[in-house]
Structure 1
């Protein structure tokens, strides 16, 4: 599964991770950035400890004015980067209901075609999520040890995801997403039996976003690359308010984790 992540990426880094065009730092405007339409990027708060309910920049193909440039698809569609909340709230959720972002922050790729909340999104509502890494907890008796998982060269991880839009009783529209998961790779199954669907190549990124003819099972297979690495981090990560570079500082597994809880 994937319920915690690190995302401190700039808009330009997010765009490049998705394979979207960016503007040049020498082209004026004070620096490089996405050369595709963006929506609500001011809602994103960079964090080393991102939880469901937080806004993250998401890449999608949308039929929005001005989206046809930048290598977009047909019928006026094109790439867009939009901040959406992590944790899917289906569009059919009652307008007066309180959204629960922890209920569907992940979706099992093996069953998305069967679940009513997800199957209607596979054709038109695919999206991408970029992070620097994610966290997973290893159970050890009554204790849990968190690990930080990332690419060895520190390039962003790109996850396959699905999004939806829900309207509340005030008429406000909230876009939300869920990250697809698959069974763990052979190198990670000691840690957990699930892992996020990592789109490990540009071809897979493009196929997930633009080519629904590619078999879902092919795209959502576990990432087996040897460049996915991990190490133990502080158990203070379990506290939602704990944030900053200390989240990804490697610790000794034998270290007294209560020290971290008291300190932070």
Structure 2
């Protein structure tokens, strides 16, 4: 699964990597948690013939998809992930898989591995750093009082063999050459992009053991990425904080 991730790139780097026209400037985010706003990239309206402007747009959504048909979102589990193998058939995700596929720019993600009597957090990032794009889904929910809530989830797949000992699942990574095909919901049905939903090649990610600071959502600075071996003294083991952070405004600031 993917329950926490980072976006440390500058907005200019995101614009360049995702071929966007523009993105509102935002600071680095080191500990993005469920129900917080996340940046999604989606297909925009087609440009005029001959235009060289990007046909992708950036939107902010709540991380935790709410199906359009939901009557009481509080009765549903927090849908931050969708299994790529079944998303096209599940009633919860199939409409988004057909009509609202997205990309989630990220600098890496976190997983926890049981080591002895504690869970050791790891930061999994592209080898050498840089940006990746996770496969995502977007859904707009109309609540009973008439307000619209844009929501999203990250698609997951089997972990690549070199990191499977940390966790058996990981986000689907979409290669830049597949961005347009994945986002094109007009021409491509889910079956046409199923080949994209595969584990990344072995060696694409490196796993770095980090401190327990990442376990608390309130810790949002770069110190959470400090390698565990560089800690002055081991912190008392704590469980990852998975409490929703409802009420967060849709702002990356």
TM interval, shorter chain, is 0.7 to 0.9
| Residues 244/128 of structure 1: CA separation in 2 closer, same or farther (3 Å cut) | same
SS at match of 1:226: coil
Q: Distance in 2 between matches of 1:61 and 1:161?
A: 12
User: Paired residue for 1:103, among 66, 75, 78?
Assistant: 78
User: How far did residue 67 of structure 1 move?
Assistant: 6.5
Residue 180 of structure 2 is aligned to residue 206 of structure 1: yes
User: How far did residue 70 of structure 1 move?
Assistant: 5.3
User: How far did residue 259 of structure 1 move?
Assistant: 8.2
RMSD of equivalent CA atoms: 2.8
| Residues 259/179 of structure 1: CA separation in 2 closer, same or farther (3 Å cut) | closer
> Greater relative contact order (Cα 8 A, min sep 6): structure 1 or 2?
2
Q: Distance in 2 between matches of 1:237 and 1:169?
A: 36
SS at match of 2:96: coil
User: How far did residue 140 of structure 1 move?
Assistant: 2.2
User: How far did residue 19 of structure 1 move?
Assistant: 2.9
Q: Distance in 1 between matches of 2:94 and 2:34?
A: 21
| Residues 236/190 of structure 1: CA separation in 2 closer, same or farther (3 Å cut) | same
8 Å contact from structure 2 (residues 47, 53) kept in 1: no
Q: Distance in 2 between matches of 1:144 and 1:243?
A: 20
Give CA deviations for 1:174-197 in whole Å, capped at 9, x if unaligned: 111110000010111111110100
8 Å contact from structure 2 (residues 113, 121) kept in 1: yes
SS at match of 2:229: coil
Q: Distance in 1 between matches of 2:95 and 2:203?
A: 34
User: How far did residue 226 of structure 1 move?
Assistant: 2.0
Q: Distance in 2 between matches of 1:217 and 1:209?
A: 13
8 Å contact from structure 1 (residues 58, 130) kept in 2: yes
Residue 91 of structure 2 is aligned to residue 116 of structure 1: yes
Give CA deviations for 1:85-105 in whole Å, capped at 9, x if unaligned: 1110111122x64486x6210
For structure 2, which runs of at least 5 residues remain unmatched after alignment? 240-253
- Partner residue in 1 for 2:41: 59
| Residues 190/246 of structure 1: CA separation in 2 closer, same or farther (3 Å cut) | same
Give CA deviations for 1:132-155 in whole Å, capped at 9, x if unaligned: 111000012431000001112321
SS at match of 2:70: coil
8 Å contact from structure 1 (residues 19, 202) kept in 2: no
Residue 130 of structure 2 is aligned to residue 130 of structure 1: no
8 Å contact from structure 2 (residues 41, 58) kept in 1: yes
- Partner residue in 2 for 1:155: 130
| Residues 259/87 of structure 1: CA separation in 2 closer, same or farther (3 Å cut) | closer
The TM-score, its normalising length taken from structure 1, stands at 0.78
